[in-house]
């Protein structure tokens, strides 16, 4: 019983983790994405170029390892011919949940970019 109360108390004080999705493709290019975890499915959504970022906020699930995947799709004339299935977040094997983690993912014409902090440049990770 003490372990449950302690974990519950930690989760209450824990800042939510965030996955941020950006569309940096080009004017008029739409990013379609479908994000899902081991407990949630957010469905298929669309993000216009330079629109307000889409943000997923969540706490790590303990003892299950929290994983989020997103399928990103885009293409000329919005035909969505290019697709990436990306694991955008994965909690490590821990008994204490991670708090305040940030994962920034951006779709650009030449690939998918990633950063763990807002103040560092995005790095291309998928071509």
What is the full DSSP assignment across 22-56?
EE-S-TTPPEEEEEEESS-EEEEEEE-TTPPPEEE
With beta carbons less than 8 A apart as the criterion, state whether 88 and 55 touch. Answer: no
| pLDDT exceeds cutoff 50 at 1 | no
Write the pLDDT tens digit of every residue in 22-79: 999 999 999 999 999 989 999 999 999 999 999 999 999 877 789 999 999 999 887 8
What pLDDT sits at residue 12? 61
What pLDDT sits at residue 121? 96
> Can you tell me the distance from the alpha carbon of 58 to that of 66, in angstroms, rounded to the nearest whole number?
9
| pLDDT exceeds cutoff 90 at 127 | no
Q: Quick count: other Cβ atoms within 10 Å of Cβ 66?
A: 21
pTM recorded for the entire structure: 0.86
Based on its alpha-carbon atoms, the radius of gyration of the chain, rounded to whole angstroms, reads 16
Give the phi and the psi of residue 58 in degrees, each rounded to 5. Answer: -165, 160
């Amino acid at each position: 019983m003490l372990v449950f109360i302690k974990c519950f108390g930690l989760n209450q004080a824990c800042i939510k983790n965030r996955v941020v999705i950006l569309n940096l493709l080009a004017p008029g290019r739409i990013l379609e994405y479908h994000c899902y975890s081991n407990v949630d499915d957010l469905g298929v959504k669309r993000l216009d170029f330079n629109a307000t970022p889409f943000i997923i906020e969540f706490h790590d699930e303990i003892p299950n390892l929290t994983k989020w995947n997103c399928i990103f799709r885009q293409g000329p004339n919005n035909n969505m011919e290019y697709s990436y299935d990306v694991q955008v977040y994965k909690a490590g094997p821990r008994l204490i949940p991670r708090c305040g983690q940030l994962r920034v993912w951006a779709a650009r014409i030449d690939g998918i970019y990633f950063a763990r902090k807002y103040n560092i440049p995005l790095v291309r990770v998928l071509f």
